[in-house]
Amino acid sequence: MIPVQRVLITGAGSGLGQALALRFAAAGHAVACIDIHADRAEATRARLAGNGHVALAADVADDASMQALAERVLAAWGAPDILINNAGIASGGDVLEAPMAEWRQLLETNFLSVVRGTRLFLPAMVARGSGHIVNTASFAGLAGAPGMMTYGVSKAAVVAFSEQLRAECHGVGVKVSVICPAFFKTNLMQSTIGAERIRHLGQKLMERSPDSLDAVADRVLAGIAAGRFLILPTTHEPLRWRLKRFLPEWYFRMLLKRTGELSLGAK
């Protein structure tokens, strides 16, 4: 069980961020719900059990917006005990389809948002000698597949950053976790940019997933409570991760059997 703490969650207006906010509040924690849409942040806050919660709007892809958020949170609410850098968007398409503008957008929103959140709130955690930073990546950041180039690379950067951050924070009382789910039933496809064919494929994979949003959120919460670094909250990914690590060529052949129609050679 996690002691009563203050939890800040970006992307809390929907999906996994909202589900985690509900769970932390139900456990007695104070939650700061952050979303680019103020009405969505407030809608989540209104659903939370207990008191002491706040709802604020911020664009995680914008330096000034995040700086203003941090100043407001630190002054009025205090330094979070748990920071969940969760906000992000999806994209679809191969390396030749994705324009440079898409690369910049995905890196700013999915990766540099994590860097921003960490840089803004980590100093207070270090000064206090305690804290937990949780970054939402994806299994696509651990195991590349065709058709999701910008998304996979942006999430791989989150994984690498989290590993580096974990090493840098060793000995200062700050824990680090990274969440790497595969497709599960959520509304991520609503924010997808890029190739339309990949949006349709992603939607199908979500519908076929054995994992519900509630199940994934429960597993994430358990992973955070246990202080686990790598959290793989979808059903098949713990085994797939082991296969990729220990049998990489076999894993690659199996991957191509499932997704080969998305490769450049199939076009």
* Domain assignment of residue 243, yes or no: no
CA angle at 184 for the pair 180 and 187, rounded to the nearest 5°: 105
- Residue 155 zone, left/alpha/beta (φ > 0; ψ -120 to 50; rest): alpha
CATH number of the domain enclosing 194: 3.40.50.720
* Domain assignment of residue 227, yes or no: yes
Residue 202 has pLDDT above 60, yes or no: no
Q: Tell me the pLDDT tens digit for each residue of 209-261.
A: 789 999 999 999 999 999 999 999 999 999 999 999 999 999 999 988 877 66
* Domain assignment of residue 55, yes or no: yes
User: d(Cα 175, Cα 83) in Å, to the nearest integer?
Assistant: 10
Sign for the pseudo-dihedral over CA of 203, 205, 207, 210: negative
* Domain assignment of residue 246, yes or no: no
The residue segments making up the domain with residue 33 are 6-236
* Domain assignment of residue 244, yes or no: no
* Domain assignment of residue 57, yes or no: yes
User: DSSP letters along 159-182, please?
Assistant: HHHHHHHHHHTTTTTEEEEEE---
Mean confidence (pLDDT) of the chain:
91
CA nearest to 121, candidates 85, 158, 155: 85
Model pTM?
A: 0.92
Catalytic residue among 111, 151, 183, 184: 151
Counted domains in the chain: 1
Q: Is 251 a catalytic residue?
A: no
Helix 213-225 to helix 15-26 angle (10° resolution) is 60
pLDDT given at position 152: 95
User: DSSP letters along 214-225, please?
Assistant: HHHHHHHHHHHH
Q: Tell me the pLDDT tens digit for each residue of 53-104.
A: 999 999 999 999 999 999 999 998 989 999 999 999 998 888 998 999 999 9
Question: 206, 234 in Cβ contact below 8 A?
Answer: no
CB-count exposure of residue 171 (10 Å: 0-12, 13-18, 19+): exposed
User: d(Cα 33, Cα 144) in Å, to the nearest integer?
Assistant: 31
Residue 156 has pLDDT above 70, yes or no: yes
The residue type at 182: A
